[in-house]
Amino acid sequence: MQNLLFNFISKYITIAEEEKNVLVSLNLFHSVKKGTVLLKEGQHSKESYFVLNGCIRTYYILDGEEKTTAFYTEMDALTPPCVINQTPSECYISCVEDSIILVSNEDMSEEVNSKFPKFDIMCRKFSEELLAKQQINFDEFKTSSPEQRYLNLLKNRPDLIQRVPQHQLASFLGIKPQSLSRLRARMLKKES
């Protein structure tokens, strides 16, 4: 499991054995059960997450309704807005599946950065990459209809459609579960 992390890091920087040991000594790995809520609205948090295995999701509760905004799966990283802004959280984070995640908090990352300066460089590269990815995602979402979004998802993250409950998927696509059902029925008809 740790090798997954080191492979990931190697994409950005070269990492020595002793540096690996620094990371291991921090005890970052956590195993969390499906349904566990990692962050609730109103909470203060300094934690960032990195998914090694499984799936977590972010959502809001607006007018008593869950609005899912993102799914994070293998090798996805997530720093909730409330951590960066140092404000109480407006969103929830929970586990869609039993997952193995890496949890780091800001105080810790300062410690890592001092023992392991290259880590800082990696973080910057990584966050630049994230920013671009997010921008593209946003643009794609804005410029397409629910149906196109569903087709995009089928193409880019087909696994999600299998592993995530439909009503969460629907909300992720910006529609109600009933509309997603209809949309799928419509598409099947067209095919035949």
* Residues at the contact surface with DNA, assessed by CB under 7 A: 145-147, 165-168, 174-186
With CB under 5 to 8 Å by kind, the binding choice for 167 among DNA, a second copy, none is DNA
Question: Which residues fall within 8 angstroms of residue 52, CB to CB, at 6 or more apart?
Answer: 1, 4, 5, 29, 74, 75, 99, 100, 101, 102
Candidates 105, 137, 166, 178; binder of a second copy (CB under 8 A) is 137
Min CB(91)–DNA separation in Å: 19
Using DSSP's 3-state secondary structure scheme, residue 158 falls into helix
Min CB(27)–a second copy separation in Å: 25
Quote the CA–CA distance of 98 and 67 in Å, as a whole number.
Answer: 21
Question: Which residues fall within 8 angstroms of residue 158, CB to CB, at 6 or more apart?
Answer: none
Candidates 143, 189, 190, 192; binder of a second copy (CB under 8 A) is 143
Min CB(147)–a second copy separation in Å: 14
With CB under 5 to 8 Å by kind, the binding choice for 185 among DNA, a second copy, none is DNA
Task: List beta partners, residue 182.
Answer: none
Using DSSP's 3-state secondary structure scheme, residue 44 falls into coil
CB of 46 closer than 8 Å to CB of 107: yes
Give residues 109-128 in contact with a second copy (rule: CB under 8 A). 124, 127-128
Candidates 18, 62, 64, 190; binder of a second copy (CB under 8 A) is 62
Quote the CA–CA distance of 95 and 36 in Å, as a whole number.
Answer: 5
Candidates 6, 8, 12, 60; binder of a second copy (CB under 8 A) is 60
Query: Is 33 among the residues that bind a second copy (CB under 8 A)?
Result: no
Tokens 């492979």 found at = 7
Which stretches of the chain bind a second copy, using CB under 8 A?
Answer: 58, 60, 62, 67, 69, 79, 81, 84-85, 91, 124, 127-132, 134-139, 141-143, 172, 174
